[in-house]
Amino acid sequence: MPARIAAFVVWAAVAACVAFWGLRILVTPRPAPSQTQPVSATDSLRGDVTRLFAAVPTAATPVTEPGLASRFKLIGVMAPKDGDRGHDQGIALIAVDEKPPRAYRVGARIDNALVLQSVARRSATLGPSQGAPAVQLDLPPLPLPATGSLPPAAGLIQAPPAAETATTVPMAPAPAGPARAPINRQ
């Protein structure tokens, strides 16, 4: 019996090796798509290396006129998830001079001199069509989530206390009929 098990193990290993090397040799790999480019060491040095070691310059915050900002109220925004694409796409819901809010696309004229310049996740910027932002509108912060426990449901039957559940239920009477004696088989 041990000779049979040893022969089985040896032939299984031989079959696994033949299948592995047969697939390696006989199967041809798919060619790379035509738009792929090979990686080279010279392409990796094209970036701005000073950004790795120096502080990233921050954009100056736009200066707003106090009277101008009070005329507009941001109600909601629909901005793409990517921050890069938010400058040329998106919609903002803005109320002007306490009038009902209207939806404006990026680049749409809001006032005589102002257009919607960009939309971010929770803000929108207004300014002249070819100039720096004049007003930045932000949505109010979200309220904190409510925590705690729920009140008991009204109108549902409450379960009785544990002391009252230990009541005895009367048993149903046995069916009437002839009594049977147990059968004794030996």
Q: What is the mean pLDDT of residues 20-36?
A: 86
Res. 21 pLDDT band, cuts 50 70 90: very high
- Lowest mean per-residue pLDDT among 22-31, 33-42, 118-127: 33-42
Per-residue pLDDT at 86:
45
The answer, as to whether pTM is greater than 0.85, is no
Average pLDDT over residues 134-142: 87
Q: What is the DSSP string of 58-91?
A: PPPPPP--HHHHTTEEEEEEE--SSTTGGGTS-E
Confidence band (pLDDT; 50, 70, 90) for 148? confident
Quote the distance between the C-alpha of residue 52 and its chain's center.
30
Mean per-residue pLDDT for 111-117?
Answer: 86
With a CB cutoff of 8 Å and minimum separation 6, the contacts of 129 are 107, 109, 115
Q: Which residue has the higher pLDDT, 185 or 36?
A: 36
Cα within 13 Å of Cα(2), Cβ side: 0
N- to C-terminal Cα separation, the chain: 48
Place of tokens 């109600």: 75
Q: What is the CA radius of gyration of the chain?
A: 39
Report the run of H or E that residue 135 belongs to, with start and end. strand 135-138
Please, what is the Cα angle at 25 between 19 and 6, to 5 degrees?
25
